[in-house]
Structure 1
Amino acid sequence: LARNQLHGGATLYGILLGAIGAGAVAGVFLLPRARASVGADGAVVAGQVGTAAALALFGFAPDAPVAIAACVLAGASWITVLASLNVSAQSALPEWVRGRGLAIYVTVFFGTMSAGSALWGLIAERLGLAPAQYLAAAGMLVALAATRRWRLHGPALDLTPSMHWPEPVLAGAVQGDAGPVLVTLEYTVPAENRSAFLAALARLERERKRDGAYAWEVFEDTAHAGRMLETFLVDSWHEHLRQHERVTNADRIIQEHVHRLTRGPPRVTHYIAARERPHE
């Protein structure tokens, strides 16, 4: 842009970069007000529209002042989207998995940024700088549909640990690496609640698997109407104890809804894979 379109040199290039930085700083001060008035999703939409406008101005820019103004707008829009995504990613993850979740988020974010930079460089080389900028602006506006489809903020969830699971009843000491562990929960479900119970239990399945369970299933007793058995496996006893620490207050609401559809609380039983004990 600085060299080919505006026929400038290193000085103009530095000014354009400085304008992007100035726009980003201004965006930091404007972002709290924007989030308070339109929310995180609205801030992202504003950032997308601003980025599209900046790209269109880059393609049109007949002189340095227009390009500088576009850079200020681009910087403010960039920081608006980046900050909104970062905050939403952190608030959407429970504490126990936040570090790993953010690592994946950052990898995807900057990985796609690098791949996108290479792609748009090839497009600009084939089509020319201005057509590539106009095409990128149009693509940004098309991407607004994704913003409407996948929103950053759904219902507010309390992701703090609830610690409401009781400690397992043990007949003796259990080695932490013993496993796998089979957990069963026996429910008594009135006939009129059967469909609602199974639907609620499907939501509970996602929670169990998220916290480390696998081979989740629900069984129905053929001899006793209404008796349901939820089962799942966990790799080890230590891993199951970590499940107790990972259950959030939002999960507790789901579990309480399941329990309201049954007659009384479930009967919970733990089994550990039987292994021959070494001779002393």
Structure 2
Amino acid sequence: MNDATQPFRVDVVDYAPALPDLRTVRETVFVQEQQVPIEEEWDALDPDCVHVLARSFDGTPIGTGRLTPEHKIGRMAVLRDWRGNGVGDAMLLALIEAAHQRGWREVSLHAQVSAIDFYLRHGFQPYGERFWEAGIEHQSMRRSLAGPKAIDDRETAIATIVALVDNARRGLWIYTRELDPGLFDHPAVVDAFRRFGTSGRGVEAHFLLQDAAAPQRAHAPLLALAQRLPSIFLFREVDDPVDRAYPSAYLANDAGGCYFRTLGHRFDGEADLHAPGRARQLRMAFMAVWERARTVSEYRVLGI
């Protein structure tokens, strides 16, 4: 069984060059494991679809998914040893983002009955009667792409943060209590920040902390990354008593995405990858506090 802390990444890939990797995952999961006839697994739509591929840190393919021209998500597959690690969540968010970029207002899918709860977590709703496809019982589901979606578990929270960081153009604004353990120390999140910081686009990530000492005591991995990229990762601690009483936490990017948690010590909240008005509001509130916060000078001992 794979260690659930191992990092992975999800990319939109070109079909032809990625076909061997797509085959590795889809034929392992669908053909070998679920006994789907191979002639039913591959169809004429594949070359015209948007494909996402999840890879482990060493480049090994571990998951696939696709978005068809008919606005349908499908062929979601994760290798057995990687299930339960958030790979499916990250791939689904990448496909939803691809649909957003194309201006689509809704996406649908045929969910295997065993996966209905997974899609319910991501805002999909069932419709119609259940049916059988390739010998497996399915349920049609759809999701509107307008408006915020509820985040109520750690896996979805992590996938959402990764999507927001990866979608950022040049700026990120993060209001956090103490670089929230369980979220900002997860390898997939740290890896997303590493990609952001090394993109060469003149980027900056601003962090407002309520307790700057806690991440230092915990040897938070983001601090080690910031030590190598001190001009990109900027930290301040709220100082005003009113600011210190603020109970919430949030992340906003300059691409119109945000994830807001009413109670900053919890994972649950709401997120929207395309809410420019709300993201702008959060950035403005952030900068007002940033101006009166203190620079975390003790991090400079670490070379930050």
* Fold equivalence (TM over 0.5): no
Higher helix share: 1
Query: Normalising by structure 2, what TM-score?
Result: 0.26
Higher strand share: 2
Which one has more relative contact order, counting CA pairs under 8 Å at least 6 apart? 1
Query: Normalising by structure 1, what TM-score?
Result: 0.28
